[in-house]
């Protein structure tokens, strides 16, 4: 593979939020560019003006920046400005269509929607490939112009040479060869004058100097058509690579419409960008090592030949694994920044972070633990309610008395005192106490929780537990 002047791109449509499949495509293209000290371009394919959402455009940029996928060219980039929106490139597309028509590489097609639907039905019934039959390809060019001038609606189709084969070296799949007769002449401009994805995408790549394109295997059949189009216009062609799609458990492609998790959703849930990047980098890619890696390290190891050809299943458990890896290596200062001041006093935040760190799955868990350790009333699980109401109210009253009069909060001293006062040991002591104090049956060491928790909060929670237990008594 030629590695000089590498330029890749990510070209989303701003019709919704990005999901893991989109983001993996962006990541792979960024890593490809950085691997060769090249250029990473963000281009917005907003030609579908009816579905374009300006909020989605903002979210796409915010998501990429959050992940560290900063582009060299595109919206807000410091490099020389480019027309990074398809909606601003109509003149380029018009010139391309005119050039194709002038040389006979494209032709007007007047077939009605009804004829095309009937043709598809016939082909399905015969078990034949669904393709345009070239009906209008044989119309004389002068006659076609007259019909258009008279107002007859027509699309413009790219003429695929009869009997030809297009071959190319796929960056992921190796040698690929397509018989053009099996593809059918594709539409490059609709009857209303709007160009198709096939043309706009290829023209943008050529005029923007894109040299390498990594995209999903669902675009594989577009590549021979786009190669024919660019060659007909004497424009440069990028090297293409097609990776297996990211799929759901049932094998269906990951989609915004099926509720695939978006980056904004993961960010709000407290996932770290390092975790998301490390998970996506391994989704259908055998290149990365076993441990958590930086973007620079991932780029240095990136080879498109190691990308998977088959589907890659989205696995939330694997994302959680990399989240745990990222949380374990997160500097304490970054955790401190994420602690909201509502419940934890500034002077106790460092102790709080050290206490709960091992129990954090996401940054969002910091807020939950802050409320569980410092707020007046944490949320109780069903298990917590059952454990509290199933205990003797005198158990909690004895615990309150012991904690109120204790001179030493060291657990080695406090535990025997609680055992003596309550008459309970082991799980019979620990379980109702933990549930009453935190509302959960797990967490940091109980002695550490008691020592950290403000005395008035401990008292309030144990009093409430005693009231709940008393209310659950048969004679209450």
Q: Write the pLDDT tens digit of every residue in 94-122.
A: 999 999 999 999 999 999 999 999 999 99
Write the CA distances from 2 to 212, 236, 239, 315, integer angstroms.
10, 15, 9, 34
Asked whether residue 338 is domain-assigned, the answer is yes
Which residue ranges of the chain lie beneath pLDDT 50?
1-3, 476
Q: Are residues 110 and 230 in the same domain?
A: yes
Identify the domain boundary among 183, 213, 243.
243
Q: Please report, in range form, the residues annotated as the binding site for ATP.
A: 256
> Quick one: angle between helices 426-438 and 382-389, nearest 10?
120
Q: Are residues 311 and 355 in the same domain?
A: no
Identify the domain boundary among 243, 271, 290.
243
Q: Are residues 58 and 20 in the same domain?
A: yes
Instruction: Tokens for 98, please give them.
Output: 């005119």
- Per-state percent for the chain, helix, strand, coil, to nearest 5: 50, 10, 35
Cβ pair 281, 31 in contact under 8 A: yes
434-468 residues labelled b (16+ CB within 10 A) or e (exposed): bbbbbbbeebbebbbbbebbeeebbeebbebbbeb
State how far the Cα of 158 lies from the Cα of 136, in Å rounded to an integer.
11
State how far the Cα of 86 lies from the Cα of 92, in Å rounded to an integer.
10
Cβ pair 189, 195 in contact under 8 A: yes
Cβ pair 348, 434 in contact under 8 A: no
Question: Hey, how many other C-beta atoms are within 10 angstroms of the C-beta on 326?
Answer: 20
Domain count, the chain: 4
Instruction: Tokens for 362, please give them.
Output: 């996401």
Q: Are residues 117 and 233 in the same domain?
A: yes
Contacts of 229 (CB under 8 A, 6+ apart): 100, 105, 158, 188, 198, 199, 202
Identify the domain boundary among 322, 338, 362.
322
Asked whether residue 271 is domain-assigned, the answer is yes
Tens-place pLDDT, residues 28-39: 999 999 999 999
Asked whether residue 2 is domain-assigned, the answer is no
Q: Are residues 272 and 294 in the same domain?
A: yes
Q: Are residues 231 and 99 in the same domain?
A: yes
Q: 């998301």: which residue's tokens?
A: 276
Instruction: Tokens for 269, please give them.
Output: 């849930």
Computed over every residue of the chain, the mean pLDDT equals: 92
Q: Are residues 297 and 161 in the same domain?
A: no
Asked whether residue 476 is domain-assigned, the answer is no
- pLDDT for residue 260: 65
- Report the CATH number that the domain containing residue 396 is assigned in CATH: 1.10.10.350
Q: Are residues 26 and 94 in the same domain?
A: no
- pLDDT for residue 476: 47
Asked whether residue 103 is domain-assigned, the answer is yes
- Do β-strands 312-313 and 246-247 pair in parallel, antiparallel, or remain unpaired? parallel
**R_g of the chain, CA atoms, integer Å:** 31
State how far the Cα of 277 lies from the Cα of 319, in Å rounded to an integer.
9
- How buried is residue 189: exposed, middle or buried, by Cβ count under 10 Å (0-12/13-18/19+)? buried
In this structure, what is the dihedral angle of CA atoms 406, 410, 412, 418, given to the nearest 10 degrees?
Answer: 30
CA 5 to chain centre: 28
Q: Are residues 357 and 390 in the same domain?
A: no
Q: Please report, in range form, the residues annotated as the binding site.
A: 256
Asked whether residue 1 is domain-assigned, the answer is no
Cβ pair 40, 210 in contact under 8 A: no
Residue 270 lies in domain: 7-86+246-322
Q: Are residues 69 and 187 in the same domain?
A: no
Asked whether residue 152 is domain-assigned, the answer is yes
Q: Are residues 80 and 95 in the same domain?
A: no
Cβ pair 206, 136 in contact under 8 A: no
Q: Are residues 313 and 365 in the same domain?
A: no
- Report the CATH number that the domain containing residue 101 is assigned in CATH: 3.40.50.620
């Amino acid at each position: 593979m030629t590695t000089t002047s590498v330029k890749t791109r990510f070209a989303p449509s701003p019709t919704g939020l990005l999901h893991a499949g989109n983001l993996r495509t962006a990541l792979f293209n960024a890593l490809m560019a950085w691997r060769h000290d090249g250029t990473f371009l963000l281009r917005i394919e907003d030609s579908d003006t009816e579905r374009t959402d300006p909020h989605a455009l903002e979210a796409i940029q915010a998501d990429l920046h959050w992940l560290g996928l900063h582009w060299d060219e595109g919206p807000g980039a410091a490099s020389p400005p480019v027309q990074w929106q398809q909606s601003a490139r109509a003149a380029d597309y018009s010139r391309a269509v005119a050039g194709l028509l002038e040389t006979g590489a494209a032709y007007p097609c007047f077939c009605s929607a009804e004829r095309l639907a009937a043709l598809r039905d016939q082909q399905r019934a015969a078990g034949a490939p669904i393709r345009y039959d070239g009906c209008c390809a044989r119309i004389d060019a002068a006659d076609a112009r007259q019909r258009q001038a008279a107002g007859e609606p027509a699309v413009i189709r790219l003429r695929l040479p009869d009997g030809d084969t297009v071959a190319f070296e796929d960056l992921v799949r190796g040698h690929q060869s397509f018989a053009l007769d099996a593809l059918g002449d594709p539409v490059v401009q609709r009857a209303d004058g709007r160009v198709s994805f096939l043309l706009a995408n290829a023209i943008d790549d050529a005029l923007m100097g894109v040299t390498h394109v990594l995209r999903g295997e669902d675009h594989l059949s577009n590549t021979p058509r786009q190669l024919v189009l660019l060659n007909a216009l004497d424009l440069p062609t990028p090297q293409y690579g097609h990776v297996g799609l990211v799929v759901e458990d049932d094998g269906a492609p990951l989609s915004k419409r099926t509720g695939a998790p978006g980056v904004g959703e993961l960010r709000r849930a407290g996932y770290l960008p390092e975790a998301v990047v490390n998970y996506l980098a391994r989704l259908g890619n055998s290149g990365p090592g076993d441990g958590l890696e930086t973007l620079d390290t991932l780029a240095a190891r990136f080879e498109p030949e190691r990308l998977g050809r088959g589907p890659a299943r989205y696995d939330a458990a694997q994302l959680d694994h990399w989240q745990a890896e990222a949380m374990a290596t997160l500097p304490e200062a970054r955790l401190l920044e994420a602690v909201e001041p509502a419940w934890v006093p500034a002077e106790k935040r460092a102790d709080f972070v050290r206490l709960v760190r091992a129990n954090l799955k996401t940054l969002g868990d910091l807020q939950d633990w802050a409320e569980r350790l410092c707020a007046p009333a944490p949320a109780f699980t069903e298990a917590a309610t059952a454990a509290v109401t199933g205990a003797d109210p005198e158990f909690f009253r004895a615990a309150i008395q012991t904690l109120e009069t204790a001179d030493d909060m060291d657990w080695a001293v406090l535990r025997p005192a609680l055992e003596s006062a309550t008459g309970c040991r082991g799980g019979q002591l620990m379980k109702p106490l933990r549930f009453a104090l935190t509302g959960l049956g797990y967490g940091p060491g109980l002695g550490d929780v008691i020592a950290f928790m403000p005395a008035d909060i401990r008292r309030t929670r144990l009093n409430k537990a005693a009231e709940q237990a008393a209310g659950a008594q048969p004679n209450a």
